[in-house]
Amino acid sequence: MINASLKQLSQALAAKQISSVELSTLFLDRIERLNPTLNAFVTVDREKSLKMAIAADVRIAAGTAGPLTGIPIAQKDIFCAEGWTTTCGSKMLANFVSPYDATVIHKMHAEAGLVSLGKTNMDEFAMGSSNETSFFGPVRNPWDSSRVPGGSSGGSAAAVAARLAPAATGTDTGGSIRQPAALCNLTGLKPTYGVVSRYGMIAFASSLDQAGPMAASAEDCALLLNTMVGFDERDSTSLDRPVEDYTRDLEKPLNGLRIGLPKEFFGEGCDAEVMAAVRAAIAEYEKLGATTVEVSLPNSHLSVPAYYVIAPAEASSNLSRFDGVRYGYRAPEYDNLEQMYEKTRAQGFGAEVKRRIMIGAYVLSHGYYDAYYLQAQRIRRLIADDFVEAFKHCDVIMGPTSPSTAFKLGEKAADPVQMYLSDIYTIAVNLAGLPGMSVPCGFVDGLPVGLQLIGNYFAEGQLLNVAHRYQQATDWHQRWAVVE
Amino acid sequence: MTQWEVVIGIETHAQLATVSKIFSGAATAFGAEPNTQACAVDLALPGVLPVLNKKAVECAIRFGLAIGADVAQKSVFARKNYFYPDLPKGYQISQMDLPVVVGGNITLQVGQGDKAYEKVVRLTRAHLEEDAGKSLHEDFQGKSGIDLNRAGTPLLEIVSEPDMRSSDEAVAYAKSLHALVQWIGICDGNMQEGSFRCDANVSVRPKGQAEFGTRREIKNLNSFRFLKEAIDFEVQWQINEIEEGRRIQQATVLFDPDSGETRMMRSKEDAHDYRYFPDPDLLPLVISREWIARVQSELPELPVQMRERFVREFGLSNYDASALTANSEIAAFFQLTVGAAGKQNAKPCANWIMVDLAARLNKEGKDIAESPVSAAQLAGLIQRIADNTISNNIAKKVFEALWNGEGATADEVIDKQGLKQITDSGAIESLVDEVLAANPANVAEFKAGKEKAFNALVGQVMKAAKGKANPQQVNDLLKQKLAG
């Protein structure tokens, strides 16, 4: 049951082989036993979870259940959930109990009937690629507890990889779903910007943030994505388009699929053994009937610098609301208003968050705005245009998700630029607003490697199909970390 | 001695008369208990997002059309970043580079009587933004309270060109604008509640000099009287400074109504860097031609158009027509009065409203909308003057009686108080005969060539008739008898 797919769990629940309460208890017990080593969850509330499980069992008994009703999952602690402590990995919100549900949470709880097992650890305000910036301490990679799980959705990745939850939600601003998925041997999908509502998802960089599923397989991701998407009038950047069933095209054959291989992704900067695994995966695709074509993303080398202007700029403004006035942390001692702000924010935010706020404030300030922010926006447009051009020659783009396998805790913590380069292959996708996935495609020294798939706008269904067919032919995604 | 010229530009914040806030569904009603009209969005809880209120946009379109401006087909919301406890997000959503309304102008009447002149003031722009909350510094024993009811209230900031050359012109502009925004129904104009407040940018320069002097901005003037007093003080202060050899430093100042003085709030050096950038949570505001056309079709007749019509249709002077279209209430009152009294009585209608009614209202500090004498009552009165039922003098009595509620109509008052004019020539003749017989001295004086004696005799006849005799008939009969 622990390693069962969502489909299998759904069938077991429908056949009354197991109840949602039993299933949820199974995972809650595993969390209780294994979380102290992994630190994947920051909040677990057995009573709340079981209440949802009971409600799900009632729906199942009444015959009003949806396909995922009663299945327990883990929620990244970036989503506001009514009555749940919602910390975003920060001291600033360590005691913040949300009075409302994010749209994604509402859809999963009230509509789909999923059971939340708890809130998962993450880099503070989603700023990081290793989960080391969390106020609640680092998360351990289930494949090697001396290594990072990736970030910022590291808690979700570790939880699913260690089977503390069958699946989880993540968010991806520059690679925060795909990179931890790669480092933990998971399948993760970042949808097209605007497909999943951002309402109630604590903002890091509003124009880049997008929520998505993290699970063992493409099929699981498709099922979970079905519960997350849809137009939301409370999010002005949400797209009003017909809802689709992402499982519909899963089985489509890949004959004639044109895979674009950007030469910029296959040059220097990537670990050779990671690259070998990626190439082997592409060879597998050729066996499945796909062809490859070299494409070019000539501005991709500018994506990291452009991202580290735009994302901090938006973050510096988004995080201004954490001022100690209305909720969240407030410094215990201060003499005046200015001091209250200074001390509250100095004490409430960690080093990486402060670094990005400073960068963001700097690039937006008078006299620097044109040189940094506007220039970065221009680059962003060029990067998006590169993809438009590339997709004239191919259906899907492939390459590595991350230039290396999971690195050691502390290895890159002292060097922010090295850390930022972990996302060198993922960031351009966010800047362009495209959908992207990471799919398990092999191991190097016992550590998982991820293959990145990038689709055209709204091609989530196609990406899931491409990933699923590969997972029919390979079993990388069915190798489980040994955590006990 | 140098002749100084005053240069004034005005920025106005007009609170838009929408039911809900500009980016949330919370109510905008004034005077509620603190923090009872602030929802999750207004409180800037983590994760919330703004959604633009279309009604606020419609107000901006109405305004743009009313002043003959360009309504931008695309405008952009920007974040103005600064920290203050009553600014929950740490930024205000406003418009910077691309405002919704560009250009336009307002025609005003300055001064009264012979000194009256017309002036056209050009507008630079008008943009949509949200209001902040309120800090309450009293009643909290050394602490400050925050009321966020006002946070997110929609404002239209209307910026004029520096076209005004005196405090009288500034006041005339503010009054015209105040009347216009109420006329087109986008603002309730309540200045006590802060629905309409002005900032005045004031500078002086030697007459004939082309370039402007350095300006100082007087903030938050919420009455026309304060606007005038503040500008007059500021102008004199600036002239004195310059004449005493000091330079004006750009600054923001506050007006203290108690002392009648302006004092510095902050200099240019401590001006904030607001780090404006386009709000990534809101898409550019796109206004279709169809939308503009629809708003145009719903727009009432504007003051300028109505003024021209009054001149054309009723033969009123430009001055009268302007006065009667100074605000929507007086215009409505005049139209109702003419409607009931008949077009041929337009001039007396105008006079009664502008002179007698205005004086009476003024004396009681009442608004025309609260006039105890209705338009229908006034029309009835004017009709009785026109058909010679009463004289102008008696009409003033009837008016007073109507004002005091001594009758429902002019006819009723005339009847009840027996004020009907005596037009029966027989009755008047006998009165004249009586007076001539009783006043031989006056008769002798008249015959000796003293014209004044005639007036005394008229007076005696009117007195005997208790003012009700038709003055023209009295005149004619007296002349006839004295000549005979």
In sequence order, which residues have a C-beta less than 8 Å from that of residue A389 and are 6 or more positions away?
none
Residue B479 binned pLDDT confidence (cut-offs 50, 70, 90): confident
State the residue range of the domain holding A152. Answer: 6-256
- Residue keyed to tokens 């221009």: A378
Indicate whether A30 belongs to any domain: yes
Residue A95 binned pLDDT confidence (cut-offs 50, 70, 90): very high
If one compares B476 and B316, the residue with the highest pLDDT of the two is B316
Closest-CA distance of chain A to residue B145, Å: 10
B105 beta partners: B122
Find the mean pLDDT for residues A367-378: 96
Alpha carbon B278 to its chain's center: 36
What positions of A carry a catalytic annotation? 76, 152, 176
Count of CB atoms within 10 A of residue B14's CB?
Answer: 26
**For residue B467, what pLDDT is reported?**
81
Query: What is the rounded average pLDDT for all residues in chain A?
Result: 97
Closest-CA distance of chain A to residue B170, Å: 32
pLDDT digit string, tens, across residues B52-106: 999 999 999 999 999 999 999 999 999 999 999 999 999 999 999 999 999 999 9
* Helix/strand/coil (H/E/C) assignment for every residue in A23-67: HHHHHHHHHHHHHHHHCCEEEECHHHHHHHHHHHHHHHHHCCCCC
Residue B419 binned pLDDT confidence (cut-offs 50, 70, 90): confident
Indicate whether A121 belongs to any domain: yes
Q: Do A234 and B89 touch (CB under 8 A)?
A: no
Find the mean pLDDT for residues B357-376: 94
Query: Nearest CB to B282: which of A202, A236, A319?
Result: A236
> Does position B325 have pLDDT exceeding 80, yes or no?
yes
pLDDT digit string, tens, across residues B240-280: 999 999 999 999 999 999 999 999 888 877 778 999 999 99
Residue B13: closest CA among B156, B129, B212, B172: B156
Q: Do B49 and A361 touch (CB under 8 A)?
A: no
Query: Nearest CB to A317: which of B40, B47, B79?
Result: B79
Residue A133: closest CA among A94, A171, A90: A90
Q: Are A398 and A454 in contact (CB under 8 A)?
A: yes
- Residue keyed to tokens 């601003």: A173
**For residue B42, what pLDDT is reported?**
96
Query: Nearest CB to A361: which of B50, B275, B276?
Result: B275
Query: Nearest CB to B146: which of A316, A325, A365?
Result: A325
Q: Are A89 and A67 in contact (CB under 8 A)?
A: no
The answer to which of A26-30, A193-197, B230-234, B444-448 has the lowest mean pLDDT is B444-448
pLDDT digit string, tens, across residues A306-355: 999 999 999 999 999 999 999 999 999 999 999 999 999 999 999 999 99
> Does position A382 have pLDDT exceeding 90, yes or no?
yes
Find the mean pLDDT for residues B187-211: 96
Residues of A with a Cβ under 8 Å from any B Cβ are 79-80, 86, 88, 93, 96, 98-100, 102, 198-203, 205-207, 233-237, 313-314, 316-317, 319-323, 325-327, 337, 341, 361, 364-366, 369, 373
Q: Using the 8-state DSSP alphabet, how is residue B3 labeled?
A: P
In sequence order, which residues have a C-beta less than 8 Å from that of residue B138 and are 6 or more positions away?
none
> Does position B160 have pLDDT exceeding 90, yes or no?
yes
Indicate whether A24 belongs to any domain: yes
Which of A124, A317, A339 to mutate to test binding with chain B, by most B CBs within 10 Å of its CB?
Answer: A317
CATH number at residue A127: 3.90.1300.10
Inter-axis angle of helices B303-314 and B328-341, to 10 degrees?
Answer: 20
The pair of three-digit structure tokens given for residue A184, joined into one six-digit string: 């933990």
> B326 to each of A387, B63, B112, B176, how far by Cα in Å?
59, 17, 13, 7
Indicate whether A237 belongs to any domain: yes
Q: Do B283 and A320 touch (CB under 8 A)?
A: no
Q: Are A68 and A224 in contact (CB under 8 A)?
A: yes
The answer to which of A56-70, A91-105, A409-423 has the lowest mean pLDDT is A409-423
Q: Which amino acid is at A457?
A: Y
The answer to which of A301-315, B165-179, B223-237, B311-325 has the lowest mean pLDDT is B311-325
Instruction: In whole angstroms, give the CA distance from residue B373 to residue B386.
Output: 19
Residue B204 has phi, psi (to 5 degrees) of -130, 155
Q: Are B438 and B426 in contact (CB under 8 A)?
A: no
> Does position B139 have pLDDT exceeding 80, yes or no?
no
ipTM field: 0.96
The answer to which of A202-206, A260-264, A456-460, B385-389 has the lowest mean pLDDT is B385-389
> Does position B361 have pLDDT exceeding 90, yes or no?
yes
Indicate whether A239 belongs to any domain: yes
Count of CB atoms within 10 A of residue B374's CB?
Answer: 16
Sign, Cα dihedral of A103, A106, A111, A113 = positive
**For residue B36, what pLDDT is reported?**
94
Collapsed DSSP state (helix, strand, coil) of residue A441:
strand
The pair of three-digit structure tokens given for residue B135, joined into one six-digit string: 């800090």
In sequence order, which residues have a C-beta less than 8 Å from that of residue A178 and are 6 or more positions away?
A172, A188, A190, A401, A402, A426, A436, A437, A438, A450, A452
pLDDT digit string, tens, across residues B97-134: 999 999 999 998 898 777 889 999 999 999 999 999 99
Residue B455 binned pLDDT confidence (cut-offs 50, 70, 90): confident
Instruction: In whole angstroms, give the CA distance from residue A224 to residue A167.
Output: 8
**For residue B224, what pLDDT is reported?**
96
Q: Do A323 and B83 touch (CB under 8 A)?
A: yes
Instruction: In whole angstroms, give the CA distance from residue A112 to residue A105.
Output: 10
* Count of the separate structural domains present in chain A: 1
Indicate whether A475 belongs to any domain: no
Indicate whether A148 belongs to any domain: yes
**For residue A187, what pLDDT is reported?**
98
Closest-CA distance of chain A to residue B22, Å: 13
pLDDT digit string, tens, across residues A11-62: 999 999 999 999 999 999 999 999 999 999 999 999 999 999 999 999 999 9
**For residue B426, what pLDDT is reported?**
82
**For residue B433, what pLDDT is reported?**
87
Instruction: In whole angstroms, give the CA distance from residue B424 to residue B430.
Output: 10
* Closest-approach residue (CA) in chain A for B144: A337
**Percentage of chain B exceeding pLDDT 70:** 99
> Does position B314 have pLDDT exceeding 80, yes or no?
yes
Indicate whether A361 belongs to any domain: no
Helix, strand and coil content of chain B, in percent to the nearest 5, comes to 40, 20, 35
pLDDT digit string, tens, across residues A144-183: 999 999 999 999 999 999 999 999 999 999 999 999 999 9
**For residue A59, what pLDDT is reported?**
97
